[in-house]
A and B are shown apart, each in its own frame.
Chain A
């Protein structure tokens, strides 16, 4: 799979990044080189192999659902200036 300028701009948009012209020109050949190298994974026969999403298998980790003390609303809001009436304040949705 080759990554071109159009695809790079699309991926950046999905990732909520605005790339400058300079960044696009720098990243494009670097990403092409890296992805070409990573493509060599396709030569490995993985038929019937299960994917590992973590390296050490742990199964069915459960615990009792006991209510415990947690962050207070005031504490949770203490790390930002963007708040109003006890809520986080975000940019407009529409």
Chain B
């Protein structure tokens, strides 16, 4: 842009003329400075990666380099499944590119109802409700279920969408120490008996990849008369005989009132949902604002989701292979001397804990240049102020790829001085 053009288009309150105390962006100055200092050291921006091509669930081209993907949450590798792709194409042809409307007005097509039917089959529940994203599913269900004077009791390490669901609603919010059954029990015991209570748990906690002791936690919640919601975003597809999640694997299906999940991980597209057996569940479609006041998912998306979900019901072989991959990578990284988020492999997420931001970014970049993409995560997303590289495995990673990945970690770890 030329100097003259910039001047001509500058709004009257351009940054130069706004006093810092009135500039709404001033509060972000420390973050801007931290980022600029980091990028000035010459490292690549971990939060601005572009995939030029994606050639399979486990491979992409980034800046011209063939790269193994180990940070996608694409646990079951459904994104390139031929049946899934075909279902999407057919829905494009039959229903067009989008609904341009809310689920409660003009935005419910046959594929949306079919997708909810697929979820009911998959979860064996009476009700299923599809949201436009997993974030919105938590936002909507949590903010609507617990109202003023009622209580939400949540794990301190809960996902941002759970915290934001609490912020959107009017309930009283109580936190307990991560995965502590005793802490949950004590806090529930201190609350008044009469008001309704919702205990919010996650099957897999996505930062460190640890799982919740659901039988004990659910028993405590029931003892105090609370309803229970379990977020199975990272458990769906992988845990339990039918792939329903950690709550199925741990045998607490009868006592969990609501399961929230997402299509953007094992299902391989985008969207969110809640399933339940509560006889009045369908009223949520009328009172849940993040469901009502947004456009529904494109028909192609729900059609791919429905096909994927039905295939995941019979994916026992893939689940077994994903477990083998997860155990091998966890054991291999541990043997190399990396500090991991969990002592034993608990899920398909393996978190490598680094000392600080500088070391984390250096390691992340060394891996990327070696041809491996992982997620870098930093506070406040991470627990206890840790910097970590989060790896998530895919059922489509071959055993050979996992060995290649371990070789890449060894080379990068030695180059950066982590091991």
A, B: real partners: no
Q: Which residues of B contact A (CB under 8 A)?
A: none
Q: Which residues of A contact B (CB under 8 A)?
A: none
